Amino acid sequence: MKSKDIFRESLLDVGVAIDGSNPWDIQLHNPNLFDLLVSKGSLGLGEAYMDGWWDCQQLDEFFFRILSNHLEQKVARHTSWRHKLGYMLPRWLLNNMLNPESIKRSPEVARRHYDLGNDLFTRMLDSSMNYSCGYWKNSDTLEDAQQAKMSLVCRKLQLRPRMRVLDIGCGWGGLAKYAAENYGVDVVGVTLSGEQKRYADEHYGDLPIDIRVQDYRELNERFDRVVSIGMFEHVGLKNYRVFMKTARNCLVDDGLCLLHTIGDNITTRFVDPWIKTYIFPVGFIPSVLHIAKAYEGLLVMEDWHNFGADYDKTLMAWRERFLSHWDDIKDHYDEKFYRMWNYYLLSCAGAFRARDIQTWQIVFSKEGIVGGYHSVR
């Protein structure tokens, strides 16, 4: 069976047509797309979109359909072993490196992603510059959802005035600012991005916030609370245990640690090759088992909260802001970047909508809270 016929049949099985009339259907511009998919899988799909080989009016709905219906498995059933190998092989590339998230290599994600330009992120994100999932339980806007997320985090951590808080992967300092202003705490934030530190220093210099360009593995201080929002995805499978040891070593005996991370439903060693190549060159999405093995014997899990569906709303709000402000920044980026960024935001939204990936907030203590921890929602 020819590659086009394989994919046409498989797509129809999940409700997607080639050159169809639905907004989630593929509009084909280059018939070589299907041979590329056989040889390069999801990497080829993304690269072909960036190069204009195909279009789709609603990419988020396209990805929702193919992920919720497990298109990859359907394609694999129709292909030969040679084609299966070509389709899956890019996912194994991560295992060819000893530790791609070593101290030496980790700054690459800051250079290639977070330092893309504050002009981009200030227009895409909310005013607090939160680049992680908002909490939409009682929120209707991105701004409110991110304020609600920061409030949720601070309440889960049971912050009190004069506490010392460590924010691992602090981003542009939004949570540090919120916690300092609303709870009277002192915050040390560590990031690998010079652009993020520059932004925080310019905007929050009058608050008790110390933002450092520093690897978390170099920390040797004690804090009442440790928090990490959306950074664990860059830690890497081989470093999960080190991260948990660092969190424990940095905590006072009665301290709390909150970990906010994207999570995978399946325990695997694979990373999507397109995301790894074009969006986040350093990183890995953990499963429940990965996290459990990492903290076992080091920390006590007090609470595990999943609100993964909220990331769909967050990504769609970012995409709306990105589109509305594109004319302001397009002189700094090209059309290929525009297609890449659009593909990134919408493919991820579709993945969260399909519940293919999750958002977890996990609270840890060192030895267990006497009398128990009271969960906050």
Query: Is 130 within the bounds of a domain?
Result: yes
Choice among 56, 133, 250, 348 that is catalytic: 348
pLDDT at 225: 98
Do 40 and 151 have their domain in common? no
Do 316 and 356 have their domain in common? yes
Do 254 and 292 have their domain in common? yes
Do 139 and 216 have their domain in common? yes
pLDDT at 96: 44
Q: What is the mean pLDDT of residues 45-66?
A: 97
Do 76 and 124 have their domain in common? no
Using one digit for the tens of pLDDT, what is the confidence trace for 166-175?
999 999 999 9
Query: Is 375 within the bounds of a domain?
Result: no
219 token code pair: 């920390």
Comparing 7 with 312, the larger pLDDT belongs to 312
- Give the integer Cα–Cα distance in Å for 38 and 52: 18
Comparing 93 with 137, the larger pLDDT belongs to 137
Last residue of a domain, one of 63, 96, 129: 96
**Position 263 confidence tier, pLDDT thresholds 50, 70, 90:** very high
Query: Is 376 within the bounds of a domain?
Result: no
Last residue of a domain, one of 96, 127, 161: 96
**Position 94 confidence tier, pLDDT thresholds 50, 70, 90:** very low
**Position 81 confidence tier, pLDDT thresholds 50, 70, 90:** very low
pLDDT at 92: 43
Q: What is the mean pLDDT of residues 335-344?
A: 97
Helices (H), 296-334: 309-324, 326-329
Do 37 and 131 have their domain in common? no
Query: Is 56 assigned a catalytic role?
Result: no
**Position 102 confidence tier, pLDDT thresholds 50, 70, 90:** low
**Total Cβ atoms within 10 A of residue 84:** 15
Query: Is 241 within the bounds of a domain?
Result: yes
Do 157 and 26 have their domain in common? no
Do 138 and 196 have their domain in common? yes
pLDDT at 41: 87
Do 129 and 266 have their domain in common? yes
pLDDT at 111: 65
- Give the integer Cα–Cα distance in Å for 371 and 369: 6
**Position 4 confidence tier, pLDDT thresholds 50, 70, 90:** confident
Pairing of strands 164-168, 223-229: parallel
Query: For the domain that residue 118 is a member of, what is the CATH number?
Result: 3.40.50.150
* Listed ranges 6-20, 70-84, 273-287, 330-344; the one with the highest mean pLDDT: 330-344
Instruction: State yes or no: pLDDT of 306 exceeds 70.
Output: yes
Do 89 and 115 have their domain in common? no
Could you list the residue range(s) of the whole structural domain that residue 335 is in? 107-365
Instruction: State yes or no: pLDDT of 95 exceeds 80.
Output: no
Query: Is 150 within the bounds of a domain?
Result: yes
**Residues 213, 242, 230: CA angle, nearest 5 degrees:** 55
pLDDT at 220: 93
Last residue of a domain, one of 62, 96, 130: 96
7 token code pair: 């994919």
Comparing 326 with 91, the larger pLDDT belongs to 326
Place of tokens 């080639």: 18
Do 211 and 278 have their domain in common? yes
148 token code pair: 């609600």
Q: How many domains does the chain have?
A: 2
